[in-house]
Amino acid sequence: MKSKLFSLSIVYAIMLLFTSCSNHKDLAVSVKDSETDYIFAAQYDRSKTIAVQQYINEALKPNRIFADHSEEVVKDIKLTDGSVFHLESSPGDFTVEFEKNKNSKGSYDNMRKVCLGVREIVAGK
Read off the DSSP letter of residue 92.
Answer: T
Q: Tell me: pLDDT of 12 over 50.
A: no
Helix (H, G, I), strand (E, B) or coil at 125: coil
62, 80 contact by CB (below 8 A): yes
Q: pTM above 0.75? A: yes
DSSP H/E element including 85: strand 84-90
Q: pLDDT class for 10, splitting at 50, 70, 90?
A: low
- Is 16 among the domain residues? no
Which CATH number do you get for residue 104? 3.30.160
- Is 44 among the domain residues? yes
- Is 6 among the domain residues? no
Closest CA relative to residue 111, chosen from 31, 29, 28: 31
Half-sphere exposure at residue 89, Cβ-oriented, CA atoms within 13 angstroms? 25
Q: pLDDT class for 93, splitting at 50, 70, 90?
A: very high
Q: How far apart are CA 114 and CA 108, in angstroms?
A: 10
- Is 7 among the domain residues? no
- Is 64 among the domain residues? yes
**DSSP, residue by residue, 57-76:** HHHTTT----SS--S-EEEE
Q: What is the pLDDT of residue 35?
A: 97
Task: Write down how long the chain is.
Answer: 125
**How many structural domains comprise the chain?**
1
- Is 54 among the domain residues? yes
87, 75 contact by CB (below 8 A): yes
Q: Which of 33-37, 61-65, 83-87 has the lowest mean pLDDT?
A: 61-65
- Is 10 among the domain residues? no
Residue 78 belongs to what domain range?
A: 25-123
- Is 3 among the domain residues? no
